[in-house]
Structure 1
Amino acid sequence: MDDFLLGLVQVLAPDTLLYMAFGSLAGIIAAAIPGFTVTMAIVLTLPLTFTMPPLQGISVMLSVYVGGYTGGLISAALLGIPGTPSSVATTFDAFPMARNGEPGRALSLGIWASFFGTIVSTLVLIVAAPPLAVIAVRLGPWEYFSLIVFALTIVASLVGASLLRGLIAGVIGLAIAVIGPDPMMGRPRFTFDIEMLAPGLPFLVVLIGIFAISQLMSELENPAAVKEDAALISGRIDFHTWTVMKEVLARPGNLVRSSLLGVFVGAVPGAGGSIANLLTYDQAKRASKTPEKFGTGIADGVVASEAGNSATSGGGLIPLIALGIPGSAVDAILMGSLMVHGISVGPRLIMEHGDLVYGMFIAMVVASLMMLIICLTTMRFFLRVTEIPKFVIVPVVTAFCVVGAFALNNRITDVYLLGFVGLLGYVLKKLDYPLAPLVLGVILGPIAETNLRRALMSDADWTTFFTRPISAFLLIAAVLSIAWSARAYMKGRKSMLAPSQS
C-alpha cells in the first residue's frame, strides 16, 4: 500500500500531469501524420525525459504511447490513410462511415473503443502480469511461426468479393517482403542488381504508398470535383459523444474480446499493435451475425480494431515489468529509459522498485483519461479537415507522406519507392484487388520467415512444430480458421447467386 500511495503521489503531481498532457497531445498529433509512427514519437520524447525523475519520465513516455495508438485513427477515419501500422484495419470501416456522412461518429467510436481497450489492458496488466509473462516467454520460434501462420489466415476474411484476387494480393505482399537483405544472414536477394532495392522495401514506405498515395491518386480522378472546391468528405461534423459511448458499451462481447486479444498479442514479444489491429478485426467479423456488412462502415469494425490495438499498450508492459523482456520496439525504448536512470529491469523490479511499478499502472490509467479528454475536446478541430477542398488537402497530405517516407532512413530512394508502390496500389485498387491482404503479407512475411529458420536451425526435425503443444494448437486453429472462412465465403457466394438465378 505504501508503494501504491507513493506512486500515486508522484504521478498526480501537477508538473507530471502537465507534462503528460503535452505528451498525450504530441502522441496523438504524431500518429495522425502518415509515416510518423508511435515509435518515432517515443524516440523523440526520450531525450526530454533524461532530466526528469524516473517515474515522471516514464509517465510522460506512456502518455505519448497511449496517445499514439489513438492518433492513427484520425487520418484513418478522415482520409482513409492509416496514420500508423496499428490502424490499418481501422480504415476498413471508419473511412466508409465518414464518407457516408458520419465522420464525427467514426472518430467517437474509435476514441471510446481505444479508451476502454487501454483500461481493460491496464486491469489485466495489474492482475495477471506474472502468469501471462511466463506464458509469453515460453514461446519459442516454433510457437511464433505457428502464431504467424494462424494470423495469416486472416487473409481469408479480407479478400473482399473475390477469393482469388485476395489471395493474389497476399502473395504480392509476401513477395515484397522478401526483397532486400536476408533477415538472418544479411545477404541481398531478389534485388535484380537494382541499387534502389538493395536495402529492401521498408514496411512503412509500403504502407504509406499502398494506402495513402493510391487513395490520393483516386481522389484526383475527377478533375471537375477538384476544381469545384469539393471536400474530401461531405457530411455533418456534429457528434454525440455520450450517445456513442453507450453505443460502444452496448457491444460488450466485441469490446472485451478485442481488448483481451490485444493484451495477449501485446504480451507476445515482437507481435505489436499492427497484428492485434488486424486480428481483432478478423475475429469480430467472424463472430458477427452480419459479416457481409464489414467494410461498409459498421460500428463493430471500428470498435474491434481500435480496442485491439490500444490494448497492446498494456499487454506489451507485461513481459517488460515481470521479466525484463520488451514486447515491442516502444517497450524496448521504455526499458532503455529506466536503465538510463540506473534501474535494472527484470523479475526483481516489482520487489525493488514497487513505487515505480505501481506508478506505471496509475500512469497508464491517467494517460488513457488524458487521451480521452484531449481527443473529445479537440475533435471538432480535427473534423474541420472534412471541410478542406481536395485541391488543398491532397498536396498537403502528399507532402507529409513524402517527408514521412524520407525521414525513416534519410534515403531519397525511399521516396522513389513510395511513388512506385503507390502506383502499384492504385492499379490494384482499380482492378478491384483488396489491399489489406497485401499489407498483411508485408507485415507477417519477415516474422514468419525469421522464426521458421530459427526453429529449423535449432532442430531440423520439422515434426517439432506438431509435437510442441502450443505450436500444434495454433496450427490446428489455423486449419480450422481456413475451413471456417472457406465455408463462410462459399455460403456468401451462394446467397449472392440465389437472387440472380431466381
Structure 2
Amino acid sequence: MDTFLNIVNAAPGLLDPYVILAMIVGTAVGIAVGALPGLSATMGIAVLIPLTFTMEPLVALGMIAGIYNGSMYGGSIPAILLRIPGTPAGVATVFDGHEMAKQGKARQALDISLVSSSIGSAVSAVVLLLVAPPLALVALTFGPADYFWLAVFGMTTIAIMLAGNPAKGILSACFGLCIGIVGIDGISGNERFTFGTVEFLSGIHIVVLLTGLYAIPPAIDLLLGKNAIQAGDVDLGEAAKGFRWSSLVPTWIRASAIGLTVGLIPALGGNIAALLAWQEERRYSRNKDNWGKGEPAGLAAPECANNADTGATLIPALTLGIPGNAVAAVILGALLVHGLRPGPDLFRGNADITYGFMLTMLVTSGLMFVIGKLGARAYVNVLRVPRQLLGPIILALTVVGVYAIHNSVFEVILMLAFGLVGFAMEKMAIPRAPAVLAVILGPISEENLRRSLLISQDNFAYLLQSPISIVLALLALVALASPWLPKVNWRRGGTSDAPKESD
C-alpha cells in the first residue's frame, strides 16, 4: 500500500516540462550512443553527470534513465545492420539480427528489436517499482561459493553450447580467462601479466576487447569487399508484413524472466542476460537449425533480456547501495552528486525523487519505442553508405570511441590488435562470445573461489555446502556433458540437435 501511495505522489513530478524534455533528449541521445560502436551507456551517463550539477534531481535522473534505456536498444542497430554490436549487450543480437538484414528483412529486424526492447524495459521498470526490496533479498542469499559456481556455469554453458565444436568454445573461453587476469590482483595486490607496462596495471577494458573482436573484423571484410550488404538488398517497405507477433509472446516472457534474474545478481549484466536468453530460447525451439540464420525469436530473446536487465540492476543499487553493473555504479554516483544516498533511507526520506526516477525508467521505455519507430527508416538508410566509405567510417568511430575511454593511444593499438585476433578467430570458426563472457566472469569466479577458500581455510568441501552451489555445479556438469548427449540419442535411433556454430 505504501508503495502505491508513493508512486501516486511521485507521478505528478513527471508532468514537469523540463522532466519531459530531459527524458526525450536522454532517450534520443541514448539510442545514438548505443548505435555508435565503442560507446556505451556507462560512458554516456558518465559524460552527462558533470552537466547535471545545476539541474533539479528528477530532471537529471530522467535524462539518465533515457540514456540507459535508449542505449540498450541502440546497440542493436549496428548489430543488425553492420554485424557490429554497439554495446556489449548487443553481441547475441548479431547472431540472428544481421542474418535477417542480409535476407532483406532489416526493417522487420529493427521492429522486432524495438518492440522486444520496449517490452523488456517496461517489465523491468514495473518490477523495479513494485518489488525492489523483496527481490534485493535474493541477492543477499548468494555467498562467495554460489558466485563462483554461477560464474563457472555461465562460462561452461556459453563455451560448450554456443559453438558447434566444444573444443573451439573452450579455447575461446580460455583466451578470455587469460585476458581477464591481466592487471593487479585484487586480493594480493601483485602484478600479473603486465610485462612491466604501466598501461596493463588496470587490466584490459572490456570495451577495448569487445570493439576489437566484434567491430574490426566486419570493417576488414567491408574493406575487402566481403560480406557487405547493399542498400538494394534491404526491404525499405512495410516492416514485419504478415509477421505473427503473438508467436514471440512466450519468448518475451522467458527472456524477461532471465533478464530480471541476471540483472538482480551484481556484476553480471545485460550481455550475459542476452547470451543466456538466446541459448535458452534456442533450447526451447522446435527449429534449432534456423538459429543463427535469421530466426526472429533469436533476435527477440536477447533484446528483451538485455533490456529487462536495466531496471533489475538498479534494485540492489538503490536498496542496498550495491551496483549490479558499471552503469548502475555510475548512476549511484549521479545520486550522490544530487545529495541522494542509496539505501533504505532513500525510499523514506526522498520517496518522491526515488519513485519518480523509477517511473522515468518506465516512461522512457515507451519513449524509446516512439523515437525508435520514427527513426527506423533512417537507420536502414545507413546501408546506403558506399562500402568503400563504410569500412573506414567504422574504423574511425571505433578508434574515437576507444580513445575516449581513457584518452589512451595504447588502448587504440590494443583494440586494433584484438581486431586482428578476432578476424583470425572468425576465419577459423572460433566463437568470440565465450571469450568476452570469460573476461567478465573469469575475475568473478577467481575472486569468489579464493574468498571461499580463505573463509574455509582451504577446505574445498565448503564450495558445495550451499544448496544453491550444488544446483549450479550440477547444471555446469550437465552443460559439459551436453555435446555427448546427441551422440547417445543417435546410437539409440534418435536424432541429433547439436548446436551449430553461431558466432
> Is 233-242 or 214-223 further displaced after alignment?
233-242
Match of 2:160 among 156, 159, 163: 156
Identity %: 36
Match of 1:336 among 323, 333, 336: 333
The equivalent residue for 2:237 is: 238
- Of 391, 395, 405 in structure 2, the residue corresponding to residue 394 of structure 1 is 391
Do the aligned partners of 2:487 and 2:496 also contact (CA within 8 Å) in 1? Answer: no
Corresponding position of 1:69: 72
Q: Which residue matches 1:500?
A: none
Instruction: Determine the C-alpha separation between the residues in 2 that align with 1:81 and 1:410.
Output: 23
1:219 maps to 222
The question of whether the paired residues in 1 share the 8 Å contact of 2:425 and 2:431 is answered with yes
Question: Which letter does structure 1 place at the counterpart of 2:169?
Answer: G
> Structure 2 counterpart of 1:79, which letter?
L
Rounded to whole Å, the distance in 2 between the matches of 1:84 and 1:318 is 22
Relative distance call for 1:175 and 1:489 in structure 2 (3 A) is farther
Task: Give the counterpart letter for 1:154 in structure 2.
Answer: I
Q: 2:266 aligns with which of 247, 250, 269?
A: 269
Q: Which residue of structure 2 aligns with residue 450 of structure 1?
A: 447
Task: Report the Cα offset of residue 241 of structure 1.
Answer: 6.0
Aligned equivalent of 2:312: 315
Counterpart for residue 284 of structure 2: 287
Q: Deviation digits for residues 395-446 of structure 1, max 9, x if unmatched?
A: 0110011111222222211121112111111112112222222222222222
Q: Is the 8 A contact 2:136 2:319 kept in 1?
A: yes
CA shift in 2, pair 1:220/1:124, >3 Å? same
Of 163-172 and 417-426, more deviation after overlay is shown by: 163-172
One of 475, 491, 498 as aligned partner of 2:473: 475
Q: How far off is 1:232 after superposition?
A: 7.3
Q: Confirm or deny: 8 A CA contact 2:72 2:307 kept in the other structure.
A: yes
**1:22 is the counterpart of 2:6:** no
Which residue of structure 2 aligns with residue 466 of structure 1?
464
What TM-score do the two structures reach when normalised by structure 1?
A: 0.91
Q: 1:417 to 1:282 in 2, by over 3 A?
A: same
Separation in 1 of the partners of 2:205 and 2:488? 36
Gaps of 5+ in 1: 498-502
2:128 aligned with 1:129, yes or no?
no
Supply the distance in 2 between the matched residues of 1:407 and 1:461 (Cα, whole angstroms). Answer: 45
Structure 1 counterpart of 2:100, which letter?
M
Amino acid at match of 1:424: V
Provide the C-alpha distance between the structure 2 equivalents of 1:46 and 1:466, rounded to a whole number of angstroms.
43
Are the aligned partners of 1:234 and 1:386 in contact in 2 as well (CA < 8 Å)?
Answer: no
- Deviation at 1:485? 5.0
Rounded to whole Å, the distance in 2 between the matches of 1:330 and 1:194 is: 28
What is the root-mean-square deviation of aligned Cα atoms in Å? 2.4
Deviation at residue 473 of structure 1 after TM alignment? 1.8
Q: Is the 8 A contact 1:262 1:273 kept in 2?
A: yes
Query: For the Cα contact (< 8 Å) 2:126–2:362, is it kept in 1?
Result: no
Note closer, same or farther for the CA distance 1:338–1:435 as it changes in structure 2 (3 Å cut). Answer: closer
Q: Does 1:206 align with 2:195?
A: no
Look up the match of 2:323.
326
Q: 1:465 Cα deviation (Å)? A: 1.5
Aligned partner of 1:473: which letter? V
Q: Find the partner of 1:253 among 245, 250, 259.
A: 250
The answer on 1:104 being equivalent to 2:107 is: yes
Deviation, structure 1 residue 468: 1.4
Contact 1:10 1:56 in 2 (8 A): no
Q: If the length of structure 2 is used for normalisation, what is the TM-score?
A: 0.91
SS of aligned partner of 1:270: coil
Task: Give the unaligned 5+ runs of structure 2.
Answer: 498-503
Matched, 1:95 2:94: no
Cα distance, 1:73–1:164 mapped onto 2, change above 3 Å: same
Q: Which whole-Å deviations, capped at 9, do the CAs of 1:197-235 have from their partners, x for residues lacking one?
A: 555432211111111111211223348x99xxx737822
- 1:319 and 1:20 map into 2 onto residues whose CA distance is 23
Query: What's the offset of the Cα at 1:321?
Result: 3.0
In the alignment, is the contact (CA less than 8 A) between 1:99 and 1:233 conserved in 2? no
Is this contact kept in 1: 2:161–2:479, CA < 8 A? no
Residues 277-286 or 186-195, more deviating = 186-195
Amino acid at match of 2:120: G
Secondary structure of the 2:341 match is coil
Distance 2:256 2:436 in 1: 22
What is the aligned counterpart of 2:364 among 364, 367, 381?
367
| Aligned-partner SS, 2:375 | helix
Shift of 1:334: 2.0
Residues 81, 215 of structure 1: 8 Å contact kept = yes
1:72 Cα deviation from its structure 2 partner:
0.3
Question: What secondary structure does 2:339 align onto?
Answer: coil
Measure how far apart 1:65 and its partner are.
Answer: 0.7
Q: Does residue 52 of structure 2 align to residue 49 of structure 1?
A: yes
Indicate whether 1:487 and 2:485 are aligned: yes
